[in-house]
Amino acid sequence: MEINPLYFGLSTQIKLENLGNNRLGILKVIKSRIIQKDAAKIVAIANQLKSVTPNVEVTLICTRNICSKSIALLEKEGVGIRFVE
């Protein structure tokens, strides 16, 4: 699957990862906490990915520094979460 952000009309600063089986990961490994405002941006990125490839599953790959409101928003919008150390 294509993982070039330009293919999806996204900024080159967004890191995508091919997770296989029609799944893409948005890589967001940062030291600071992911807050609800960040989660809204991630949902917008996921929607852009789905507009180009409708049947793709999107997963956020991040550290455990994420607030509960962000987790709830991502789950509501159908974005999976995978934690890395």
Residue 68 is which amino acid?
S
* CA neighbor of 62 nearest in space, from 49, 80, 41, 50: 80
- Please give the chain's pLDDT, 85 residues, in tens: 789 999 999 999 999 999 999 999 999 998 899 999 999 999 999 999 999 999 999 999 999 999 999 999 999 999 999 999 8
At residue 76, the 3 state secondary structure works out as: helix
What is 5-83's CATH topology? Answer: Trna Endonuclease; Chain: A, domain 1 (3.40.1350)
Q: Where along the chain do its domains lie?
A: 5-83
Angle ∠(18,62,77) on CA atoms, nearest 5:
80
The answer to pTM > 0.75 is: yes
CA–CA distance, 45 with 50 (Å, rounded to integer):
9
Upper half-sphere CA count for residue 57 (Cβ side, 13 Å): 11
